[in-house]
C-alpha cells in the first residue's frame, strides 16, 4: 500500500493532545447546537476565508448578503463562488471523506458554472510560476487518477495514524498532486473539514480556514518547503497549529454565547427532543410549570428570538394548533 512520506513528531503528538482537550472544553456537540448564530457565523467565516485565499474580493458582509439572498454588486464569478461554497459546506455531513467519488462531487459543486471541467481531474499539465520562473511543476496529468486512487487507498486503510494528522497529510498530498484545473485549494480545505467532522461533529463549525487566511503567506511557504524536503512534516505541524489556535477563538465564542442563554431556556431545550413538535401544555407538563404566561415570557419567547425553538405555524403564533420544536 502506498504511504505518503511523513513522520510523526513530538510536536504533532502534543498538538493532537491539545486539540482533543480543547474540543472537550467546548463540552458537547449539543451545547454548540444551541448556538445557531455562532454556528452560522463560523460557517460564513470559513467560506469567506477560503475564497479570499483564492483571491475572491468580496467582503465578509457581501458574502453574508449573498448567502442571505440579498442583491450584491460584484463580479458574477465571485458571487457564484460564494453560492457554490455555501451549498458545499452545507453538505459536509453528506460527504464521505474517504470516498473519491464524493470528492469529485464536491469539486463539481464548488466550481459549478465556473469551470468547464467541474468534477473532473485535469487533462493537462499544471505548474506554479513566479513571473517567468517555475516554482513547482505538478505531476503529469496522466498520473493524476492513479495518484488520487493511491491517496484515498492510504486514507482508508491507515488505521494507525490519528485522523487529525491524516487530514493534514491528505491536505498536503492533494495540493502536491494538484488534481484539478482550478478550485484545488477550496476543495481540499473543505475536504479536511469533511474528514474532521466525521471524527467529531464540532468541526462542521470550526472555521479553520479563517486561521489559514491570517497566515496565508506562511501557508504557501510551508507547502513550498515541503515540496523541497520531499515530505509533509512541516505542513502537518503548521496545520495542527492552525486548528489548535482557532479552537481558542471558538472556546471564547461558546463562553460568550452561553452567557446569553438563560437557565430557563436551557431547561426548555433539555426537555425537548429534536424535530418533535410539542404543544404548550405538553411543554409545561415536562417543565413542571403551570403558568402559560411564565412559559411564554421566560421560556418560549427568548428561545424563539434566539433561533433555538421554532413554531409549526409561525404566521399564526396564537393558534390553538401551535406546536414548538427545536
Q: What does pLDDT average to in each consecutive run of 10 residues of the chain (326 residues)?
A: 96 98 78 78 96 97 96 97 98 98 98 97 88 87 98 97 98 98 97 97 95 97 96 98 96 81 87 90 95 94 87 92 94
Choosing from 203, 233, 259, the residue where a domain stops is 259
So what's the pLDDT on residue 113?
97
| Residue 297: CATH number of its domain | 1.10.10
Domain assignment of residue 291, given as a range: 263-325
313, 319 contact by CB (below 8 A): yes
pTM of this structure: 0.85
- The strand pair at 127-130 and 310-311 is best described as unpaired
The reply to whether 283 falls in a domain is yes
Helix, coil or strand: residue 50: helix
Residue 239 CA to residue 232 CA, distance in Å, equals 11
Say whether both 217 and 307 belong to one domain. Answer: no
The per-residue pLDDT for 282 is 96
Q: For residues 92 and 234, state if they share a domain.
A: yes
Alpha helices in the chain (DSSP H): 10-25, 29-33, 36-53, 60-67, 76-89, 100-110, 144-157, 163-177, 184-199, 208-214, 216-229, 233-259, 263-271, 280-287, 292-294, 301-305
Q: Would you say residue 5 lies in a domain?
A: no
The SS3 call for residue 153 is: helix
d(CA 171, CA 188): 6
Q: Structurally, how many domains does the chain consist of? A: 2
DSSP 140: P
Q: Which of 259, 292, 314 is the last residue before a domain boundary?
A: 259
> Residue 228: inside a domain, yes or no?
yes
C-alpha cell at 318: 396564537
In a domain, 2, yes or no: no
The Cα–Cα gap between 100 and 149 comes to 7
Clarify whether residues 170 and 311 are in a common domain: no
- What pLDDT does residue 275 have? 83
CA distances from 4 to 7, 170, 188, 229, 250 (A): 9, 9, 16, 13, 31
CA distance 234 to 225: 8
Residues 223 and 290 placed together within one structural domain of the fold: no
* 127 bridge partner residues: 137
Are residue 227 and residue 284 in the same domain, yes or no?
Answer: no
> What pLDDT score was predicted for residue 220?
95
Q: Where a domain ends, among 230, 259, 288? A: 259
CA distance 318 to 290: 18
Same domain, 244 and 297: no
Shared-domain flag, residues 267 and 250: no
Q: Is 182 within a domain?
A: yes
Q: What is the pLDDT of residue 9?
A: 98
Q: Are residues 92 and 108 in the same domain?
A: yes
Residue 228: all three cell numbers together: 523541497
pLDDT in tens, 200-218: 999 999 999 999 999 999 9
Query: CA of 264: how far to CAs of 245, 254, 268, 298, 302, in Å?
Result: 33, 18, 6, 6, 9
The confidence score (pLDDT) of residue 199 equals 96
Cα–Cα distance for residue pair 228/89, rounded to 1 Å? 32
Domain CATH number, residue 74: 1.10.3290.10
Amino acid at each position: 500500500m502506498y504511504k505518503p512520506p511523513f513522520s510523526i513528531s513530538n510536536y504533532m503528538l502534543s498538538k493532537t493532545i491539545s486539540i482533543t482537550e480543547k474540543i472537550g472544553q467546548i463540552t458537547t456537540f449539543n451545547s454548540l447546537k444551541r448556538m445557531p448564530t455562532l454556528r452560522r457565523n463560523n460557517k460564513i467565516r470559513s467560506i469567506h476565508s477560503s475564497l479570499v485565499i483564492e483571491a475572491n474580493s468580496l467582503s465578509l458582509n457581501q458574502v453574508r448578503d449573498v448567502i442571505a439572498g440579498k442583491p450584491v454588486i460584484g463580479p458574477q464569478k465571485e458571487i457564484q463562488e460564494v453560492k457554490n461554497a455555501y451549498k458545499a459546506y452545507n453538505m459536509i455531513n453528506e460527504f464521505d471523506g474517504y470516498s473519491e467519488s464524493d470528492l469529485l462531487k464536491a469539486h463539481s459543486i464548488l466550481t459549478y458554472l465556473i469551470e468547464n471541467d467541474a468534477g473532473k481531474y485535469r487533462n493537462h499539465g499544471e505548474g506554479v510560476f513566479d513571473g517567468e520562473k517555475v516554482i513547482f511543476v505538478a505531476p503529469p496529468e496522466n498520473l493524476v487518477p492513479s495518484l488520487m486512487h493511491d491517496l484515498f487507498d492510504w486514507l482508508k486503510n491507515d488505521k494507525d495514524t490519528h485522523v487529525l494528522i491524516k487530514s493534514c497529510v491528505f491536505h498536503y498530498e492533494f495540493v502536491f498532486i494538484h488534481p484539478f484545473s482550478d478550485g484545488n485549494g477550496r476543495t481540499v480545505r473543505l475536504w479536511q473539514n469533511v474528514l474532521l467532522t466525521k471524527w467529531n461533529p464540532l468541526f462542521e463549525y470550526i472555521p479553520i480556514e479563517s486561521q489559514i487566511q491570517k497566515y496565508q503567506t506562511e501557508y504557501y511557504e510551508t507547502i513550498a518547503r515541503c515540496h523541497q524536503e520531499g515530505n509533509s512534516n512541516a505542513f502537518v505541524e503548521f496545520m495542527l497549529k492552525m486548528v489548535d489556535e482557532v479552537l481558542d477563538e471558538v472556546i471564547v465564542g461558546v463562553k460568550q454565547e452561553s452567557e446569553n442563554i438563560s437557565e430557563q431556556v436551557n431547561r426548555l431545550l433539555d426537555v425537548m427532543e429534536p424535530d418533535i413538535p410539542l404543544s404548550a401544555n405538553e411543554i409545561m407538563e415536562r417543565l413542571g410549570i403551570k403558568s402559560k404566561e411564565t412559559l411564554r415570557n421566560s421560556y418560549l419567547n427568548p428561545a424563539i428570538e434566539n433561533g433555538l425553538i421554532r413554531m409549526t405555524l409561525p404566521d399564526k403564533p396564537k393558534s390553538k394548533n401551535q406546536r414548538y420544536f427545536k
